[in-house]
């Protein structure tokens, strides 16, 4: 984890969700998409920081799980 308690780094988020590819854009926003997504697919998840991105990935996985049921 990062120095601040409860604030993950982008590397922490990547380790927690290995089936997702995470990166920081030039704009400073962070993005993620499933690692098995075809190249060029838009990132379905974005956040202002790694903590926000983590929450958005959790939300995306929850929505995907609900669609499968």
> Which residue's entry shows tokens 């780094």?
9
Local structure of 34: helix, strand or coil:
strand
- Residues 50 and 53: their CA atoms lie apart, in Å, by 5
- Confidence band for 1, pLDDT divided at 50, 70 and 90: very low
Q: What pLDDT shows up at residue 2?
A: 45
Q: Do you know the residue count of the chain?
A: 69
Average pLDDT rounded to a whole number, residues 54-60: 95
Average pLDDT rounded to a whole number, residues 33-39: 89
Q: What is the dihedral of CA 58, 20, 4, 30, to 10 degrees?
A: -100
Q: Can you give the pTM of this predicted structure?
A: 0.83
């Amino acid at each position: 984890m990062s120095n601040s308690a409860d604030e993950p780094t982008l590397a922490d988020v990547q380790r927690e969700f290995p089936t997702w590819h995470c990166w920081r854009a030039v704009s400073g926003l962070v993005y993620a998409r499933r690692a098995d997504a075809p190249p060029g697919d838009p990132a379905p998840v974005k956040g202002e920081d790694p903590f926000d991105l983590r929450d958005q990935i959790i939300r995306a996985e929850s929505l995907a799980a609900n669609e499968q049921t």
